[in-house]
Amino acid sequence: MRATAVSLCGAAALVTGLVVAVPSAAGTDTRAVPRTAHTPHPLTWKKCATKDHPKLQCASLKVPLDHDHPHGEQITLALSRIAHTAKRYQGPLLVNPGGPGGSGLTMAGFVAKTLPAKVAAGYDVIGFEPRGVGRSKPALTCRPGHFKPVRPATVPHTAALEKANLNRARAFAAACGKKYADVLPFIDTVSAVKDMDAIRAALGAHKINYFGYSYGTYLGAVYGKLFPDRVRRMALDSVVDPHNVWYDANLTQDHAFDSRHKAFMAWVARHHKQYRLGKDPAKIEARWYAMRAALAKKPAGKKVGAAELEDTFMPGAYFNGYWPFLAEAFSSYARTKDTDLLVEAYENFGAVDAAGDNSYSVYTSVGCRDAAWPRDWEQWRRDNWRTHAKAPFMTWNNAWYNAPCAFWPVRSLHHPDVTNTSLPPVLLFQATDDAATPYEGAITMHRKLRGSSLVVEQGGGNHGITLSGNACLDRHLAAYLTDGKVPHSGGEVDAVCKPLPDPKPKGAARAGAGAATGDAAGSGAELHRLLGFRG
C-alpha cells in the first residue's frame, strides 16, 4: 500500500473491546476509544461541482487533533457529498481510495456515478480527506521535492549508493519531525478512524455504510473493531493483510510485484509483432534490466534514471490498462535508444507533484506511527538483499520508499487485532494476482471478520477491481448495497468471477497522456487514477 504517484501500501492494542495504544519501547499511551463522541457542529454543504461531477457538494468539519482531549486543539477535515435522490434512503456511504494519503474528495463523485443509478440514489455518498491530506488542515508536506529527479539508483551495489539513499531517508524523517512535531503523534489509523466516527455524528447518522479500497480496507476493518455497533454495511476491495502491518507487508509485496512485472513481460512477448522485443519473456525481462542499468549511468532526458524508471513501471503492476503505453516506451528505448516516450511515460506515471509530496508525507506519517519498524538498519539491509535476490524488480525501491520509518521522530504504536465477531456481514473483493495487496491478506481478513464473504477475481492481477468494468464483481457489490445480500459457499471463497481480458496493443501508447489517464487505458482508468499508483 503506497501513497499516490511516486501510487502502492492501526495504532493500538485491543483489550476486551477498548483500545489502549502502547508506543513500542515507551510508556503507555492512554488514548482510549471514545464510546460517545463529542457533538460536532452540523455540516454546511456548498456546491463544488466539477465537469465530471456536477452534483458534488463540499463541507468542512472540525475534529480534535487528540480525540482524548476533545476540547483541545482542532484540525479541519474536508468532506464531499453526492446527496441521495431516492425515497428509500439507506444512509451515508463513506468511501476511501486508500494510501494512506489518498485524496478522497473526488471519490464520492466517482462512486455515485459508477454504481448503478438506482443503487447510488439510495445513499449520500460521502468522500473525505483524512487528517493531513489534501484540503484538510493542516495538510502535511514534509520535504517538498523529495522525489525530484534524478535520484540515486535504488539497488545499493556500492557503499556510496547506500549512503546517499540513507541520507535521503534520514533527511525526510528529520524534516517531518521539525515541521510537524506537535501533529505527528496523531497521524495514524486509529486517529483517522475516530475522525470517521466524528463524520458519522456530524451527519446525524446512527450507523454508516463504508466502501474502501486498498489501505481503505484496513481503515474500515479498524473502524469496525472500534465501533462495531455503528456499521450497517461494509465493502472492502483489494484487501490489506491486517496481520502484517507494515514492515512485513512490504517484503511480501516485493515478491508479488516481481510476479506481476513478469506477467507484463509475458504480455509483451505475446505481442512481439507490435513491440519487436522478442518472444521469450525471460529475455525481454533481461532487456528491461539492461535498460535500468543503462539509465543509471545516463538518465533519459536528464530525468529518468534507474529509480525513476522503477517508479514509471510500477503502475503497470497496479493496472494492466497501462501496459500498452509502458511497452511502447520500453520498446522505443530498448530498440533505438529513443527516450521521448520513456520521458513521457515518466511524466505521466512516475513524476511527483505537490499533491504527491503531500500524499507521501501522510503515507509515511501514518505507516511509521501505526506499527513497529526495525530501527537497526542492518535488519533492513539483510531482509531486503534476501528479498531482492528473488524479486529484483521493486525490492530496493520499496525499501527506500519506507526507509524514513527507520529514523522516524515519533515512537511507533502497536497495531490492533481486527478480529471481529460483532459486525454485520462484510463483503470482500480480491484478485488472486494483485501485487499491492497480495491474495493471502484477503484470506486472513476473511477469517478475522466472522460472517464476511469473499468474492475472488480468479486470475485477475489489477489492484482495485470493482467499479472498473467487471460486471460479475459489480453485480455482487450492487446486490449488497441494495439489500445487504452476500454470497455464501461455506468454503474459503464464497464466489468467483473471471477477470477482464488483458489489453490489446491497439497503438494506444501513441495517444500520449490520454493513454495514461483516459479511455485508451481501458474502462478502469478513472478508478486507478483515483487510487493512485502506490496507494
- The DSSP call for residue 414 is P
The active-site residue, picked from 311, 434, 474, 494, is: 434
Residue 302 and residue 295 in contact, taking contact as beta carbons nearer than 8 Å? no
Residue 238 known to be catalytic: no
Residue listed under C-alpha cell 507490435: 274
CA atoms within 13 A on the CB side of 277: 30
Sequence length of the chain is 535
What lies within 8 Å, CB to CB, of 262 at 6+ separation is 281, 285
b/e map 247-284, b = 16+ CB within 10 Å: bebbbbbbbbbbbbbbbbbebbbebeebbebbeebeeb
- Strand order of the sheet with strand 426-431? 46-47, 57-64, 74-82, 124-129, 92-96, 208-213, 231-237, 426-431, 453-457, 495-497
246 preceded by a cis bond (ω within 30 of 0)? yes
Given the residues 67, 414, 463, 476, select the one marked as catalytic: 463
Report d(CA 193, CA 206) in Å as an integer: 16
Cell numbers found for residue 328: 511502447
Q: Establish whether 214 is a catalytic residue.
A: yes
Q: In 40-62, which positions are buried (b, 16+ CB within 10 angstroms) versus exposed (e)?
A: beebeeeebeeeebeebbbbbbe
Confirm if 267 and 501 have CB atoms less than 8 A apart: no
Residue burial 293-307, b: 16+ Cβ < 10 Å; e: rest: ebbbeebbeebbbbb
Structural contact between residues 294 and 287, judged by C-beta atoms closer than 8 angstroms: no
Catalytic residue among 7, 80, 214, 331: 214
User: What are the residue numbers of the active site?
Assistant: 214, 434, 463
